C-alpha cells in the first residue's frame, strides 16, 4: 500500500529500509524522502516504522527469555 503518495513510497519499501538498518523517521526521510513534501504521510510512515522495528525486535526478546 502507498504510504507517501508524493514520492510513491510503499509500506513494503519502508519495511525493507528498516530491514536494511533504518531505525528512525530521519533515516526514512534520508533514504526514501518520506514526509518531505506535503507531510501527510508522516503519521502512517511512523506507524509502519514502529511496527517493522517491533517485528525485528520481537524474536530477539523471545530468544533472550
Residue 49 has pLDDT above 70, yes or no: yes
Residue 3 has pLDDT above 70, yes or no: yes
**pLDDT value at residue 65:** 61
Mean pLDDT (whole number) for 57-65: 71
Give first-to-last CA distance, the chain, whole Å. 34
Residue ranges per domain, the chain?
Answer: 2-64
Q: Give the CATH H-level superfamily of domain 2-64.
A: BFD-like [2Fe-2S]-binding domain (1.10.10.1100)
User: What DSSP assignment string belongs to 1-34?
Assistant: -EEETTTTEEHHHHHHHHHTT--SHHHHHHHH-T
**pLDDT value at residue 58:** 79
Of residues 35 and 65, the one with the higher pLDDT is 35
pLDDT, tens only, 15-41: 999 999 999 999 999 999 999 999 999
Amino acid at each position: 500500500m502507498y504510504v507517501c503518495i508524493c514520492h510513491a513510497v510503499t509500506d513494503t519499501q519502508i519495511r525493507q529500509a528498516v530491514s536494511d538498518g533504518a531505525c528512525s523517521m530521519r533515516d526514512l526521510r534520508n533514504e526514501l524522502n518520506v514526509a518531505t513534501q506535503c507531510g501527510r504521510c508522516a503519521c502512517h510512515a511512523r506507524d509502519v516504522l514502529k511496527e517493522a522495528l517491533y517485528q525485528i525486535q520481537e524474536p530477539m526478546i523471545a530468544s533472550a527469555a
